[in-house]
Every structure is written in structure tokens, then in C-alpha cells.
Amino acid sequence: MYRIHCMNNIARVGTERLGAGYSFVDEADQADAWVVRSANLHELALPEGLLAIARAGAGVNNIPLDACAARGIVVFNTPGANANAVKELVICGMLLSCRDILGGAVWVQENADDPEVSKRAEKAKKQFGGRELAGKTVGVIGLGAIGAAVANAVIDLGAEVMGYDPFLSLDSAWGLDRRIEHVTNLDALLSKSDFVTIHVPVTNVTRGMLGADQIALMKPGAVLLNFARDALVDEQALAEALGDGRVARYVSDFANPASANMKNALVLPHLGASTGEAEDNCAVMAATELRDYLENGNIVNSVNYGRVDLGPLETGERVALFHENSQGVIGEVTHAVAARGLNIENMSNVSRGPNAYTLLEVTGSVDEDVIGELRALGSIRRARVLHATK
Ligand SMILES: NC(=O)c1ccc[n+]([C@@H]2O[C@H](COP(=O)([O-])OP(=O)(O)OC[C@H]3O[C@@H](n4cnc5c(N)ncnc54)[C@H](O)[C@@H]3O)[C@@H](O)[C@H]2O)c1
Ligand SMILES: O=C(O)[C@H](O)COP(=O)(O)O
């Protein structure tokens, strides 16, 4: 029986997927796996028995990835599962920034009891007017699941799109509309775009990537949309640019004391992934990834270990080994296993930076002595045995 602890509320369709063989526990330190959305895990102690963390969502800056990797704790996320929800809100934010739609709606509410409201509205409307998205240039920074969807959608609305992503994946590239101009220079995108929208993960490299110098390059009167993370933008420099009108509007999904008090900003309470559809998609994908890892040893969509997929574990046993990515480890492992009379039927080894994972399918019984011997190898961080249940 695997014990799961949910750090945030997770859609029921996902928890139901963790059916027979799973129980939900209130105590985080008793769990074999955690499921999380945006709860901050950086300050929490990682329990000895924790095997995996599944982030039902995209961003993993709330999870200590390296500390997890060092302990053989696999961290998963759910790529693309909430991309459509975010795309729709970004388009909404763009259109809301084109005219003062919210201001106009408030005006109508404030004048609702006036029998002359219809006539007065025709005079009042000019203060809420604006411009169209069609024909404008939209700069998209990061062309992953969300950025690519936004780029394609705004092209369909008649905008020109410049896309910047030095690490563009083949999958994303296949899905991009051919009318999108792929630029390799961020400064060019910033200086030519009427709307700039950022869709990159926050990492040590991207933190603050839209700093004072980049904001200064933005076209006068441009709009910046940030549905990725607030830490990507120097919000102090941005507040100054908004204050003196160099940047017309900031549309952000991240309320904090700086953004909430900015002039000409529309700030939302992190609503990007908050649709029933996205929550269901994320929960189901997270639960599926967890099951595949806990029951079969397969790692799909991890952000700290590479992909290993030997399919379902139908017969025999598997040994899952987390270790340093260093020379000679595989030799030591196969030697130790063979010396115990076990035959390796199938094996996969993959590394990601300093972190390596090896999954062995063996015939013969893997007892505690074998596992003890493997654990004693200096480079092994964690060793698990998985038994076929069918
Ligand atoms: N507001 C929300 O509710 C919400 C929802 C989902 C995701 N997000 C945020 O959006 C981010 C992106 O999500 P996604 O699903 O598109 O992720 P993704 O992994 O599919 O795409 C990220 C893209 O950024 C690119 N990238 C990385 N570094 C870059 C750089 N320095 N310059 C340009 N491009 C760079 C990658 O190559 C990749 O194509 C997440 O990491 C998360 O922080 C927010
Ligand atoms: O990175 C993400 O997937 C989003 O920021 C969504 O976060 P949430 O699951 O807390 O809504």
C-alpha cells in the first residue's frame, strides 16, 4: 500500500486514479509520495521514506529539485496539462489591455440606476476606447507549451508574432504556425513588440531576465504580460516605466506588494491554471506518472531525473537505483547483481546532469542482502526493489 500526501487540493479525478493499493495520509512525513500544486516545499524537511513528488502543474520553482535529486526523490510535473487554460487567460489579458474594458464595465455598474444611462453611455464610451490586437506585433518569450499556444492564437487574431526561445524543443517547433518569426535576439523582440508576453520557467538563469535594461528597450507604449512568474521581471524598474508611461500596461498573474500597487497594472490572483479542465488534466497526469514510477519504476516527465520507460512490470522483479553520474557505477552494479546469481533481463540507464537512474529487470529473487550490498556502493543514493503484482 503506497501512502500519498496532498500538499494542495487536487482534483478528485486524479486522486481516484490512485485507487486500489493507495491510501491518503494527513501526515506529510508518513507519505511515500507527495502531490503538490504551488505550496512552497523549500522550507520543509524531506522525510526519509519519501520516494517522489508530483507537481500537478508546470512550474517547479516551489520544489527543492537538487535536494530531492541528492536523496533519490523523483520530482515530476505535468507538461502542457494546463497550457490551454493559461493561453486563454493571456489572450483575455491582452484584449483587456487593448481597451479599458474593466473601467467601462465599472462605469455602467456605477450608473445602473440612472434612467438616462443608455444616452450617457454613448458620451462616456470614448474614455474607455483603445486599439485592436490585429496588425500589432506580439513578442513571445519562451515557445514551450504555453508560449507556442499563445503565439498560434494571436496569429489567428491577426497579429504579427516574433518568438524567442534559444532552447526550442522539436515538439514545440512542429506545432508552431509557420507565420511566426523566430528571432534569436531578445533585444530585437523587445524593441519591436507592441505586446511582450513571457512564458519561461523561473530558474537561476532566467530570474530577473526582464531587468531595467530590457524594460528600457521596450517600444514606448508597449504592454507587458507576465503569466509565468513574477521573479522573471524586475518589478521595481517596471513600476518606474509604468509610472512615467514608457510601458503602458502590466498584466500579471502574480499579486505581490509591488505589483498590487503598480500604476497601470492589471494583476490577477494566480488564476492561469484555475479551470476545472486544467485541474483535471494536471491531477490525472500527476497520478499516472506517480503510479508508473511507484509500481513499475518508470520515470516519465521528471524534472530532476531522466526518462526511463521499461513498460509495465509484468513478471519478475526490478531494481531501481539512483546514483551519481560517475564512471564505473554500472560495472559495480552489474557485478554485484551477477555475483548473487541474478540474471539481468533488461536494463535502462539514463543521466541528467549529475543525477543518474538505472532500472534493472532481473530473474531471481532480489533479497535484502543484494539491496544492502548495492546501497553500500559509494555512489548509490537510493535502491528500491519492485515486485510484479500480477
Ligand atoms: N499563471 C499560471 O497559472 C501558470 C500556469 C502554468 C505555467 N506557468 C508558468 O509558465 C511557465 C512556462 O510553462 P510551460 O508549460 O509553457 O513550460 P514549457 O516547459 O513547456 O516551456 C517553457 C519554454 O521556455 C523556454 N525557455 C527556457 N529558458 C528560456 C530562456 N532563457 N529564454 C527563452 N526561452 C526559454 C524553454 O525552451 C521552453 O520552450 C512555467 O514554468 C510556469 O512558471 C504559469
Ligand atoms: O506552474 C503552474 O502550473 C501554475 O503556476 C499553476 O499553479 P497552480 O497549480 O498553483 O494553480
Measured in Å, residue 370 CA sits from the centre of ligand 1 at 42
Query: What's residue 390's pLDDT?
Result: 60
Which pLDDT belongs to residue 219? Answer: 98
Predicted confidence (pLDDT) per residue in 86-123, tens digit: 999 999 999 999 999 999 999 999 999 999 999 999 99
Spans of the chain below 70 pLDDT: 390
How is residue 218 annotated by DSSP?
S
Say how far residue 246 (Cα) sits from the centre of its chain. 31
**Residue 243 contacts by C-beta under 8 Å, 6 or more apart in sequence?**
263
Question: For a pocket test of ligand 1, which of 37, 170, 199 has the largest count of ligand atoms closer than 8 A to its C-beta?
Answer: 199
Place of cell 531494481: 319
CB-count burial class (<10 Å; 0-12, 13-18, 19+) for 56? buried
Pocket perturbation via mutation, ligand 1, pick of 146, 225, 270, 303 by most ligand atoms within 8 A of CB: 146
Q: What is the pLDDT of residue 124?
A: 98
Question: Which of 154, 98, 104, 156 is closest to 125 using CA atoms?
Answer: 104
* CA-closest residue to ligand 1 atom 35: 142
0.90 surpassed by pTM:
yes
Spatial CA neighbour of 32 closest among 359, 386, 318, 377: 386
Q: What is the structure's pLDDT at 364?
A: 87
- For residue 243, report the distance from its CA to the centre of ligand 2, in Å: 29
Ligand nearest to the CA of 57: 2
Domains and CATH numbers, the chain: 1-82+276-304 (3.40.50.720), 83-96+131-267 (3.40.50.720), 305-390 (3.30.70.260)
